[in-house]
């Protein structure tokens, strides 16, 4: 949570809910197809198990730091 967040209290409440059991069940049973972050609620059965995903390997040392900085600035992260 950024210190500059305009609605920090509401954001904290949302994070508490969405990472809790009830919020995770909403994601599990809904149509957003998000992976669960709580260990006591499994992800939606229609999702490929996260262990089977073939995530790309990224070597941070090989990234174009100027381009990364530009993208992060454009996204408002810097």
Using DSSP's 3-state secondary structure scheme, residue 25 falls into helix
Determine, yes or no, domain membership for 40.
Answer: yes
Task: Tell me the whole-structure pTM to 2 decimals.
Answer: 0.59
Task: Give burial (CB, 10 Å; 0-12/13-18/19+) of 27.
Answer: buried
In this prediction, residue 3 carries a pLDDT of 78
Identify the domain containing residue 18 by its residue range: 10-51
Per-residue model confidence as pLDDT tens digits over 20-61: 999 999 988 988 889 988 888 899 989 999 889 988 888 878
Number of domains making up the chain: 1
Determine, yes or no, domain membership for 69.
Answer: no
């Amino acid at each position: 949570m950024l210190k500059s967040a305009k609605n920090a209290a509401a954001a904290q409440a949302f994070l508490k809910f969405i990472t809790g059991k009830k919020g995770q069940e909403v994601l599990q049973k809904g149509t957003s197809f998000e992976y669960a972050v709580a260990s006591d609620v499994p992800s939606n059965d229609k999702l490929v198990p996260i262990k089977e995903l073939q995530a790309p390997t990224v070597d941070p040392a090989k990234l174009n730091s100027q381009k990364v900085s530009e993208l992060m600035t454009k996204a408002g992260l810097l």
